A and B are shown apart, each in its own frame.
Chain A
Amino acid sequence: MVVKGKLKMALVAEKDIDFKKLNLKKKEKAARKKKAQKGGDKPESNGKVEEVWEDVEEAAEDSGSDEDEEELETAPMQIDFEGIDESDSDSSAGENDQENDLEDDEDDEDIPVSDLEDLDDEEKEDMIPHQRLTINNTVALTAALKRIALPTSKIPFSEHQSITTSAPVVIEDVSDDLNRELAFYAQSLSAAQEGRKLLKAEGVKFTRPTDYFAEMVKADEHMAKIKAKLIDEAASKKASSDARKQRDLKKFGKQVQVAKLQERDKERKTTMEKIKALKRKRQGADTETTNEADIFDVALEDETAKPSRKDRIGPNKRQKKDEKFGFGGKKRFKKSGDAMSSGDLTGFSSKKMKGGAKPRPGKARRASKK
């Protein structure tokens, strides 16, 4: 202990006096913090300097560290920093750590009030001013790390199989699920590619051959469940899309039907109008030159020829039938004579009335006449 203390003193003497003061201050600070926390802190395992590595050389040191532990238990207040410094076997590393600590002090500012100003008034009202103690003991952290760290640079890659990305993964909005997962995926994918390269360079088996069967993390029934779920999902998706299509078709079909009907109506109206106009013209244009009527006739013929067979059948059939069988008006006394028919003298001749008809010639005469 004493020897190590001397070492430390020498180290400190090597540096500035300011630094010494700082260290003192820190000790005080740490002590205060410890008093505040007290609860779960057990100073026993504090000073242990054990390698977790299975290593021959370390065995002796292990037993030595146990003694250290006992010594330290007597003076629990100082422990923190001394223990840590002792665990640094490398003096240069210790220097770095302490420098880090200096920088760290500047970083350890609490959240400024300006950061809290952009909160709603409502939220501010309910906020409890609560400040945690900021603890970030860089020296102890690096010491702890050093104690357990795998020498990744010394051992072959296949021993640890860990890959760190060259640039930090930046995720702008953590609540944006898609982009976040994409970033994770990209990170792992690059690691997989690099890892395969490194492993194959070391001659380690990477790809599982297709005929290698072994227990999987997810059992067959689990995979079957997943498959069923996937099929279910696909089926329901398809069904819904089909239904939607059908719906759309129905809607569209109705529109088409309506449009067709309207068109037909319009057509009928126009033809009727034209016929009417034609009739009017015929009536009024009897005296006029036939030339005009001829032109119109041609147009009318065209017009009547145009509509499809189906259209012709529709109204024309009725007209024909009406003509043939009659439609509208009373049917009684249709065959009885009236003023017109009695006045009609077309079938009357006085000749017939006078001498009567000539007697019918004889058979021989009739035959010779032929």
Chain B
Amino acid sequence: MSAYKALSKSNGDKQEAPANGIKKNKQRVLILSSRGITYRHRHLLNDLASLLPHSRKDAKLDTKSKLYQLNELAELYNCNNVFFFEARKGKDLYLWMSKAPNGPTVKMHMQNLHTMEELHFTGNCLKGSRPLLSFDASFDKEPHLRVLKELFMHIFGVPKGARKAKPFVDHVMGFTLADGKIWIRNYQISETEPSRISTSTDSTDAKPKVKKNADGKETEISLVEIGPRFVLTPIVIQEGSFGGPIIYENKEFVSPNQVRSEIRLKKAGRYNQRAEQGVERLAKKGELGLRTDGGRKAKVDELDTGTLFA
């Protein structure tokens, strides 16, 4: 198998390498999810798959523990990127992004996800047009963020020669780092004519457009959001693809399980406090002799109805 792999790889490389020696951006993404995702997770996955023409969607993966199987799957489908949704407890969604045979792999927690359908944004774009990727400058500050940026670039950027890609650029994907999380947005680029004069010149071919660009007389760009929206919190980066040593771990990440358990504990604390108060009250009443059983007995008064009329 490995011999075959090596052989076939070398053959393939020879065919695909361009003559001038410039490397070509070739990406293919395997998109799939684990079992137990909710409908919203599934819709989000479909939305993303529709935005990525260089992707291959596969059936749900049966296992959550043997993720290294994904490497074989990726090889089977000729993919060098894996984009994997792992659902836990039917509510938490983790996103794995990996460069298939050799890594690295990033595991992220996905929050605030909204699918295209439920957002009702008016933006729209060609299915399979190549997006512009807009990154926050803070991605270049730390090595783990640079790794993340590179992975985003490979997975969300549609390579130039992708089979189903459309020739125009009509949407931009924004990746912003805020509050230790990565916020992802998708906008349509809508161009509007600033005046009538430019409309007449706009119909001519591309060359005058470039000239116009220099003059600053361009169509005005505005953005309309398309969706989906989601927020990612990086958790772990592994050196290999679904394996290998952990080379980064986010210590600020608090797992949703812990958050939930803390909320539960807090609630339990409230009950405990109340129960304690109840016990204290009983003890106090006992001290004052207001209880029929237990505690100190009240002093028998001579004028008490019980003694008077006994």
- Chain A positions within 8 Å of B, measured between CB atoms, are 34, 37, 40-46, 48, 50, 52-56, 58-60, 62-63, 66, 79-80, 100, 110-111, 122, 125-128, 130-138, 140-142, 144-145, 147-151, 154-155, 158-169, 171, 174, 180-181, 183-185, 187-193, 195-197, 199-201, 203-208, 212, 214-218, 222-223, 225-226, 229-230
Interface 9-residue window, one of B10-18, B34-42, B87-95, B297-305:
B10-18
Would you call B286 an interface residue if the criterion is a C-beta within 8 Å of the partner chain's C-beta atoms? no
Residues of chain B within 8 A (CB-CB) of A111 are 251
Is the pair A135, B248 in contact by a Cβ cutoff of 8 Å? yes
Is the pair A205, B168 in contact by a Cβ cutoff of 8 Å? yes
Q: How far is the CB of B50 from chain A (nearest CB, A)?
A: 5
Q: A132-B249, A149-B150 are in contact. Are A188 and B137 (CB under 8 A)?
A: no
Is the pair A217, B243 in contact by a Cβ cutoff of 8 Å? no
Is the pair A54, B137 in contact by a Cβ cutoff of 8 Å? no
Would you call B277 an interface residue if the criterion is a C-beta within 8 Å of the partner chain's C-beta atoms? no
Given A54-B13, A141-B147, A192-B187, 10 other A-B contacts at CB below 8 A? Answer: A66-B6, A80-B245, A136-B247, A136-B248, A148-B151, A149-B150, A171-B178, A196-B221, A214-B126, A217-B47
Among B116, B121, B243, the residue within 8 A (CB) of A45 is B243
Among A132, A167, A191, the residue within 8 A (CB) of B251 is A132
Residues of chain A within 8 A (CB-CB) of B130 are 161
Is the pair A134, B14 in contact by a Cβ cutoff of 8 Å? no
Residues of chain A within 8 A (CB-CB) of B249 are 132-136
Residues of chain A within 8 A (CB-CB) of B120 are 225-226, 229-230
Please name the residue on chain A nearest to B23 by beta carbon. Answer: A53
Q: Once bound together, how far apart are the Cα atoms of A111 and B157, in whole Å?
A: 36
Among A126, A149, A151, the residue within 8 A (CB) of B262 is A126
Residues of chain A within 8 A (CB-CB) of B135 are 162-165
Interchain Cβ contacts within 8 Å, total number: 305
Among B131, B159, B185, the residue within 8 A (CB) of A184 is B185
Please name the residue on chain A nearest to B207 by beta carbon. Answer: A203
Is the pair A54, B116 in contact by a Cβ cutoff of 8 Å? no
Q: Once bound together, how far apart are the Cα atoms of A79 and B262, in whole Å?
A: 38
Residues of chain A within 8 A (CB-CB) of B116 are 217-218, 222
- Chain B positions within 8 Å of A, measured between CB atoms, are 2, 6, 9-10, 12-14, 16-17, 22-26, 47, 50-51, 68, 80, 99, 101-104, 116-117, 120-122, 124-141, 143-144, 146-147, 149-151, 153-154, 157, 159-160, 166-170, 172-174, 176-179, 181, 183, 185, 187, 189, 191, 206, 209-210, 213, 218-219, 221-223, 226, 237-241, 243-249, 251, 253, 258, 262, 265-266, 269
Q: A134-B251, A205-B167 are in contact. Are A217 and B244 (CB under 8 A)?
A: no
Is the pair A55, B13 in contact by a Cβ cutoff of 8 Å? yes
Is the pair A148, B99 in contact by a Cβ cutoff of 8 Å? yes
Among B139, B169, B266, the residue within 8 A (CB) of A195 is B169
Is the pair A162, B157 in contact by a Cβ cutoff of 8 Å? yes
Q: How far is the CB of B77 from chain A (nearest CB, A)?
A: 16
Q: How far is the CB of B302 from chain A (nearest CB, A)?
A: 51
Among B9, B137, B221, B223, the residue within 8 A (CB) of A168 is B137
Q: Once bound together, how far apart are the Cα atoms of A44 and B242, in whole Å?
A: 11
Please name the residue on chain B nearest to A53 by beta carbon. Answer: B23
Q: How far is the CB of B37 from chain A (nearest CB, A)?
A: 21
Is the pair B179, A171 in contact by a Cβ cutoff of 8 Å? yes
Is the pair A174, B160 in contact by a Cβ cutoff of 8 Å? no
Residues of chain A within 8 A (CB-CB) of B153 are 150, 160, 162
Residues of chain B within 8 A (CB-CB) of A48 are 101-103, 240
Q: Once bound together, how far apart are the Cα atoms of A63 and B135, in whole Å?
A: 35
